[in-house]
Amino acid sequence: QVQLVESGGRLVQVGDSLRLSCAFSGRTFSTYDMGWFRQAPGKEREFVAAVGWAGTTFYADSVKGRFTISRDNAKNTVALQMNSLKPEDTAVYYCAARARRGRYDDSGSYPYWGQGTQVTVSS
């Protein structure tokens, strides 16, 4: 069974940078697509970024140019580098994994989820 553990979330100031990490275990990491989603209070979970098993990346328009997703198949980890953070980036960030393909921004296509890590951007 796939297990995902996120880390790196904390309180930061507007304009700061933050790097989230997700550790994957239980299956062959290199065959899985990996995604980051977030959920702010009172809002639905939304897509942030994804990296396919072959390394192709996808981003939500709201984070394009500020966030970078990357994977390290040797360490079984996926990272989300977040720059120029804004108050609207405040949310719980979730790492997700899937072996089957589909739309990268479709949360329903990811069967495996981490517990989430809180990112708070203070103005």
pLDDT for res 115: 97
pLDDT for res 100: 80
Whose CA is closest to 70, among 50, 88, 44, 43? 50
Pairing between strand 117-122 and 11-13? parallel
pLDDT for res 110: 97
CA distances from 123 to 34, 87, 112 (A): 30, 7, 33
Mean pLDDT of 80-108: 95
25-75 pLDDT per residue, tens:
999 999 999 999 999 999 999 999 999 999 999 999 999 999 999 999 999
Whose CA is closest to 35, among 63, 65, 74? 63
Mean pLDDT of 13-24: 98
Q: What percent of the chain has pLDDT over 90?
A: 97
pLDDT for res 56: 95
* Cβ pair 119, 91 in contact under 8 A: yes
- Kindly tell me if the per-residue pLDDT of 101 is higher than 90: no
- Kindly tell me if the per-residue pLDDT of 102 is higher than 90: no
Query: Which stretches does DSSP call E strand in 11-90?
Result: 11-13, 18-25, 33-39, 46-51, 57-59, 67-72, 77-82
